[in-house]
Each structure stands twice: as structure tokens, then as C-alpha cells.
Chains A and B, each alone.
Chain A
């Protein structure tokens, strides 16, 4: 007994010391993202990421969650100060700004993609023999409808703008709305995504082939006119943010939205009964081009753990992890490889998943071609003018001419 009383604490100390030694030998890799607190999705993504820690002992992945509304500014400020997470997720417009300033590490020597069929968007992060990231997720925009509401009103799923406008009008009655979209300065980022769909759908683009602003082209003006028309005709719940109108949709108060592939999963998680009636289609515009949100997994140029980061990224590109991410995202998003597919269970339970994979072929980044690093400027100038069209009745042509002049002045 006396011997046990002496040996037990010594054994305990030895165990603690060895655990500490093991911990000290492993490398800590910080991982920045905004998704881990999103209801439902956050837990699934965290579970996938945790697989890396379980698969090996040398590197410990430590996720850091920053709320989405402040994510870009927070990350860029940290990077500029020589700080920030080792590895992090970054959206396309922020990616281009960070890359232009040399804030992202060159991964050519630490990430080997030989034999891997990379996604089409991978071309964005490679060039001139360098690789500055891998594709984390691509997300496209399509028309999501509550079929039961359309059937009750005797309205068919619209396939062009005229049918779309008529359907929205017919469905806006008795406190319900035919459509909903972001249209306020308090949601500037999301508003830009939504407006881009209307502009692309009308055949427009924010810049021409040479990367010069083209926001007052006839096609862009038509897209803006249509967008503003829905707002001024009150076919949408005016003054309602995305969180509120998504809630209205899962409560059956909104019939249609044009939204990204992650949204159906959000709606269904709040109202599983919608599974029988929620459907997805390509956007109801002449041009099938839709807005594509691309997010990349990149490495901080300030990080001294390039090898560990490379190991992590190569693990992410393995088929099991890629399929895991597709399922974690809800099944409708693309990932870093073109071979990643959602599980049969998800496809069976969510038929709309196939639609989003089909429309991905027509996706275009919301960052203006050739001016990707100036997306924020485009957004401010264009949306401030669209705001005037909606709230002050300014003509779309006049408004877009002013935006064009402002952008030409800024980018001279």
C-alpha cells in the first residue's frame, strides 16, 4: 500500500509529462473560416475537418471561426499586419486582392495534384507555374420554388423573364410574396450576388473582354431595370433581409427565390416538411449564366508551417474528404476536384442537388473579369446607383451611366 501511494503519483506525473511531450512534438496549424457556427452545416464541416486530426499525429488543426459579415476585413487586416491563421478560407474577390499584394504563399512545392482531376475553377489559383491555393467550394445560383404554392395558384415554373414576372405577380397576394431578394445597403455583399444573377441573365457583364468597366451596356441596364421593377412593384417583401425572407420562405410566405445551393438545406433544416415541395431550376432568364461564388483554401504567406499546410491541403484533396465536404455542404456545392459527388442518400432525399450540379457549368464569378481586385469599388458604385433607381425613381440608364463614369474615374 505504501509503495502504491508512492508509485501512483509518479505514474500520473509520467503520463502527464509524456502527453505534454507528445503535444509539444506536434505542429499546431491554425485554420480560419466563418462557417463553423452556421446552423447544421457548421457541425458537419467541423466533423470533416476533425478527420485530419484523427488521421495523423504530426499536425494539430485548430479551427478559428470569424463571423461572416466581418470575415474579409478581419482576415485582410491580420494578413497586412503579418499575422492571421496559417490556412484559411477566402472568397474570390478577397482572394484576388490578397494575391495581388503577395499575402498568399506559393504552394507549388508543397501541394502535389498529380493524378487528381481538379475542378474547373482551379485555373483561378494556378498560373505562371505557381499555385496559391486550392478550390474549397463553388456555389451557384438557381431558382428555388415552393411547388405547392405555385400549384395552388395555378402558376407554372417560369422559364423566361416574362413568365417569371407574371408568376411573381400572381403569387403576391394575401400577405404572401411571389419572390424575395436582397436589395438593401445593409446587405451589400449579398445584394451584389443577387443583382449579378439578373445582369448575367440579361446577357450582361460588369466588364468587357479587356477588363474595362461596362456597367452601362444595354444588357446590364436591362438587368438592373428588371431587378428594380420587382422591388418597386412590391413583388418582394421590401426592406427584408435574407435571414428574414428565408424564414418567410420556410414558413410558406415566399414562393420563389434565386439563391445559392446551400440555401435549400437551410430551409429544409428549419422545416423538413418542405422536402415534398421544394424544387430547384435554372434561373428563369434568357442567358443561363448564373453567379458563382467560389471560395479557396489558401496559406498565409507569413506562415512558417508551409510543409504542414501542404500536408493538410493534400489530405483535403483526397476523394474521401472531398466527398465528405460535398455532403457537409448539403450536396449542391462543388469542391476542389471534379470527381467529388454527393452520397446517394443525399441525392435521393434532395432531388434539387442534381440541378445545382448541372447549372454549375454556366457559373461566372461575381468578381468583374480583369478587375477582380476592385470588386468592392464596383459594388459600391453600382449598388449606390441601383439604390437610387429603387428608392428615388431614377432611370436605370441614367443611374448606370453615372456608375460607369465614377468607375472610369476611379480606375483611370
Chain B
């Protein structure tokens, strides 16, 4: 302990006052306290995320049956080898790829158009925004049942309206025609998910600096030119994030495909998740189903890494700090 001494003596010779000053402490950091605060959340994530992931991978290495999972024996990579050798795998991956890409691109396109329309100053904008959110709010099972009726060959509204308009003479087989079943499912998916994209993109559009837009207008930029050179670069990070969410959701989508077609006809709508469900819960083969799930997880991770890398690259190109 250091002491600073004031040497001023009083006229009467009393001893000088001393002020004790605490010496500078060495900084030992925050300690364990922040980690203790984060511990409950970490434990929750461990249980809810890590354990199911571990169990899924473990099951994929066994011959577990849904009827008696406790009797499972380790077969190591036999399920993966059978999967790779299956003649159906190529078809499953192709259908999944087409479904995901088409539904994501379609959703982004329609969502962008809806967002641009909602961004225009007009009366009733709030009502329009509320109405656009309806498809997003309807449960997926309800959507599937509604569209099962809309696309019904004999009694469906779609065929009825097309026949009344003179566009078709006889009913179109939407969901049991191998050429039309997947496009029909993609259309339903886009209808269901575009409100989410529209609302998020609208928020991004409203964050574009109006001064920059005005300056661009003064420089002669109009409409598409202004959108391409000012608006689009600003909202690109948001678009990438939305696209990532839509891609992951599309890879995982199950209800509408299972309810409407169960992967048919002729496997034309048989995505990876549909095949996983059929393998695990119809054929009772948990091991192979888990292997499919692990492959799907791997694909999702790769997709996420690609999106993050793309976003970082675009941010660097525009001199921004990466937000993803």
C-alpha cells in the first residue's frame, strides 16, 4: 500500500494528514459469473439440440426397428451404403432439389413484388398487409386439405373455373399426373410462404435511406435503374437471409406433400423428408430413416455454409461489415 503524505504542518505543529489511496488492482476479468448465467440456456440447448442430433446419428448406425428400438444392433455404415446403392436415391435428391429451388425462387420473386406493392404509399395499405399475411397464418395441414379440394379433378374449383373460362375442355389431373403434381405442390408452397418473404423484404425496403433514393432520382435514376443500383444492394443481405430460411424450410417441408400425394405419382413428389417418413414409420426401419435424416442434415449444413459465405462476400464487396 502506497501512501501519499501531505507535509504541510499546522502552525501548532500537529502531525500532517495522510490520505490512504487504494493501489491499482490487477484486472482479473469477469470471472465465472457470466458463464453461470449462460449455463441454464446452454444445458437446455444441449438437451434439445445436441442430444437429438447425437441420437439420430447413433440410430443411423444401427438396424433399429420402430417396433422395438431397444433391440437395435450396430451395423455401422451399412445403412448409408444401402442408401447410396438404392436406385431411388437419385430420384429423391433430384425431386428435392427441384422442389427447393423452384419454391424458394418463386417465393422470393412473389414476395418481392408484394413488398414493392405494399411499400407504395396508398390508402388501405395496412389492410392489404393484413390480408397478405393470411396464407402464412393458416396451418399447413389446413392448407393441404383446402388445396386437395381446390385441385380435385371432378369437384375442384380450379378445374371448374378453367372450364368456365374455356381454357380447358376436360378436367386436368393436377395431383395424380406425374408431370403436374410437383408444379402444383410448388405453387401451393409459394402461396403459403410468400407472405413471410413479403413482410421481411418490406421491412428492408423501408430501411433504405430516402435521401439516397432522392439523390439517385436527382441524378436521373428512375424505376428499374434506381431499384437495381440503390435499393437492391441495400436489401441484398436481407434477401440472402430470407432465402436461407426458405431453403431450410423447403428441405424440411412434409405436411402438404404427404397429405396431397405421399410422394407420388411415380415418385414425382418424393422428397427426402417424405422418403424418410415412409422408411421410418411405414417400413418401421428407423436405422435407414435416421441415415436419410443425417444426409438431409448434412445437405442443410452445406447450404447454410454456402449462404453465409455468399453473404460475407457480398458484404465485403460493398464495404460492409458482415451481418451473418
Which A positions have Cβ atoms within 8 angstroms of B?
73, 76-77, 79-80, 97-98, 100-103, 183-186, 188, 237-240, 244, 248, 253, 376-377, 380, 384, 387-388, 390-392
Contact = CB atoms under 8 A, between A and B. Distances in A.
Contacts of A388: 266
11 contacts: A77-B281, A80-B68, A101-B65, A101-B68, A102-B68, A184-B175, A237-B154, A244-B152, A376-B282, A384-B266, A391-B266
B322 to A, nearest CB: 44
Interface string B265-291: 111000000000010011110000000
A80 B69 contact: yes
A390 to B, nearest CB: 8
B267 A384 contact: yes
B177 A244 contact: no
A124 B178 CA distance: 40
A102 B154 CA distance: 46
Contact of A239 (B177, B263, B266): B177
B51 interface: no
Nearest to A79: B67
A194 to B, nearest CB: 15
Given A184-B265, A237-B153, A392-B266, A380 B278 contact: yes
Contacts of B261: 184-186
A180 to B, nearest CB: 11
Interface residues of B, number: 29
Given A377-B283, A392-B178, 18 more contacts: A80-B66, A80-B67, A100-B67, A183-B176, A185-B264, A186-B176, A186-B261, A237-B154, A238-B176, A239-B175, A240-B152, A240-B154, A244-B152, A380-B283, A384-B267, A391-B177, A391-B178, A391-B266
Overall SS of chain B's interface: loop
A248 B154 contact: yes
A186 B259 CA distance: 7
Interface of B: 65-69, 152-155, 173-178, 259-267, 278, 281-284
Contacts of A183: 176
A239 B69 contact: no
Nearest to B67: A101
B213 to A, nearest CB: 50
Overall SS of chain A's interface: helix
A184 B283 contact: no
Contacts of B262: 185-186, 188
A73 B284 CA distance: 9
A186 B270 CA distance: 12
Contacts of B177: 239, 391
Contact of B153 (A76, A186, A239, A391): A239
Contacts of B281: 73, 77
A240 B153 contact: yes
Contacts of A79: 67
Nearest to B71: A101
Contacts of B155: 244
Contacts of B284: 76, 97, 376
A72 B66 CA distance: 12
B173 A239 contact: yes
A387 B181 CA distance: 14
A239 B176 contact: yes
A376 B281 CA distance: 10
- By Cβ-Cβ distance, the 7 closest A-B pairs, closest first, are A185-B264, A239-B176, A101-B67, A239-B173, A239-B153, A101-B68, A73-B281
B282 A380 contact: yes
